[in-house]
Amino acid sequence: MSLSRREVLRGLGLAALATPLAACATAGREAAPSPTASAAATSTNNPLGVDATRRLEVVIFSGGNGDKYAVDLHEAAYRKAYPKAELKHVATQKVGTQLRPRFIAGDVPDVVNNSGPEALDLQSLVQEGHLADLTPLFEAPSLAFPDKKVKDTLVGGAYENSLIDGVPRVLQYTVAHRALWYNAKLFESKGWTVPKTWAEFNTLGEEAKKAGITLFAYPGQVGPFYQLWNLVYSAAKVGGNKVIIDIDNLADGAWTAEPVRQAVAAWAQIQKDYGDKAYFGLDHTQTQIKHLQDKVLFYPCGSWLENEMAKDKPDTFEYAIAPVPSITAADALPYEAIMIGVSEAFFVAAKGKNPQGGLDYLRMMLSREGARGYTEMTKNLTIVNGLVDGLQLTSAVNSAAKAQEAAGKNTITDARFETWYKELFDHGQTQTNSVMAGRITADQFCENMQKKADELKADSSIAKQNRTV
């Protein structure tokens, strides 16, 4: 069974793998280099100064989305634009294992799709000056809308999420909706209504139990971070987006705040009353198969789910997305509020042999053909606005689009501590499994997370990030 783009093992094994790269980092920050001087002059037709004969190496994580989109769309466009340039394509399911030794040795590729179970630690790469400044890309004219800069063609939050230390360093290529997924055909056949309140959620749990269906499940082996996301975004629904901003900023008491405690306690109750601990021993693919078999009613995941399970999805299953039910009557955000964020990271290596070509490669990804083609092939929306008209979208994509429309301005911001403080995120997965299994209480979960956050905050060797929105 092939690895999924979201199959993640973030335990001690991967932490150990990350050590050699992190150990090379200096205590302070190196300024992220701009791409080195180009042999080509910039012009209207070549705004990024690409050497038309210079080799380009692209590394793609071949997970749930495969790598065919890169070969057939983005690399094909680059070859057409620069026919004299050699283009090397590398597909891997182990980004870290394959690339970490190369970054240490200084033999780096030009473009990296940093995703999957062994994604490189961006903070370590930044410390060593490996991530190119993407400002020239964002300021360049868009290939999709030539009268606009690339930055002005993207969905809200796309540029902001590219920033590390205030400098754009990573391109998050896709739009991700994270919430609860269910089978619309099953709900129709049973005459069930998607619950909007926690009381309705519990009532449906009783109905599902009578039908022999587990109300809610997440994979405890490979994928506890799905539920960690769910806990954090549910807390934001209770207390507003400031809950997530405080968590990301390592604010004092962020994890012990009442909205977090309420959200964690609510989900622990659902697991206790209507869950099945057997799923703690399954990975994400196994759990998603159970979902397709209507043995699980709701599954917390992102909008890549349908494409990831396309080969296994029966005709009796129609993916649809639902916001998390309102936990309290006084929730800061309405039921319709849903998490809409960006994902699928790409970066250009500042110390690569062709950083200008890398920047232009990303610009081609954001072209009309590159973005629309990607959506058609992978069933994932990209961050480029205004390019989906006329596309035949799947039920999941249509459902996510409708949910986004219903939410309007009531969107839950994406949490960034996964990228900013990986150690905290890894710790959160362990604590999530513990609280959902009933080994610790919601209060203990919050205290344990706050203790870890405080440790990181006090560690002067860890660069701190800050966000206001």
pLDDT-based confidence at 116, cuts 50/70/90? confident
Tell me: pLDDT of 117 over 80: no
- Structural domain count of the chain: 2
Rounded to whole angstroms, the Cα distance separating 169 from 152 reads 17
pLDDT at 38: 56
Rounded to whole angstroms, the Cα distance separating 194 from 294 reads 15
Tell me: pLDDT of 252 over 80: yes
Q: For residues 381 and 255, state if they share a domain.
A: no
Q: For residues 233 and 256, state if they share a domain.
A: yes
Q: For residues 70 and 94, state if they share a domain.
A: yes
Coil/strand/helix, residue 178? strand
pLDDT at 8: 28
Task: Work out the number of other CB atoms within 10 angstroms of the CB of residue 469.
Answer: 7
Report the share of the chain in percent with pLDDT over 90: 76
Give the phi and the psi of residue 342 in degrees, each rounded to 5.
-120, 155
Looking at the domain assignment, is residue 404 inside a domain?
A: no
Q: For residues 308 and 445, state if they share a domain.
A: yes
pLDDT-based confidence at 469, cuts 50/70/90? confident
Model pTM greater than 0.95?
no
Coil/strand/helix, residue 191? coil
Q: Read off the tokens for 443.
A: 């209060």
Mean pLDDT to the nearest integer, 336-340 = 94
Q: For residues 63 and 169, state if they share a domain.
A: yes
Task: Work out the number of other CB atoms within 10 angstroms of the CB of residue 52.
Answer: 13
pLDDT at 36: 52
Mean pLDDT to the nearest integer, 35-56 = 85
In 191-257, alpha helices (H): 198-210, 224-239, 242-248
**Which residue, 119, 162, 183, 176, is CA-closest to 322?**
183
Domain that holds residue 348: 12-173+343-389
Tell me: pLDDT of 195 over 80: yes
Mean pLDDT to the nearest integer, 105-114 = 96
Tell me: pLDDT of 30 over 60: no
pLDDT at 7: 34
pLDDT at 431: 98
pLDDT at 37: 42
Mean pLDDT to the nearest integer, 216-229 = 93
Q: For residues 188 and 331, state if they share a domain.
A: yes
pLDDT at 434: 98
Q: For residues 24 and 101, state if they share a domain.
A: yes
Residues 34/117, Cβ–Cβ less than 8 Å:
no
Tell me: pLDDT of 240 over 90: yes
> Domain holding 211: CATH number?
3.40.190.10
Q: For residues 150 and 296, state if they share a domain.
A: no
Q: For residues 189 and 307, state if they share a domain.
A: yes
Mean pLDDT to the nearest integer, 3-21 = 31
Residue whose tokens read 């062994």: 118
Residues 338/403, Cβ–Cβ less than 8 Å:
yes
* CA dihedral (112, 118, 121, 125) positive or negative: negative
Rounded to the nearest integer, the mean pLDDT of the chain is: 90
Give the lowest-confidence range in 156-170, 289-303, 316-330, 343-357: 156-170
Q: For residues 212 and 292, state if they share a domain.
A: yes
Chain segment 94-103, per-residue pLDDT in tens? 999 999 999 9
Looking at the domain assignment, is residue 1 inside a domain?
A: no
Q: For residues 355 and 324, state if they share a domain.
A: no
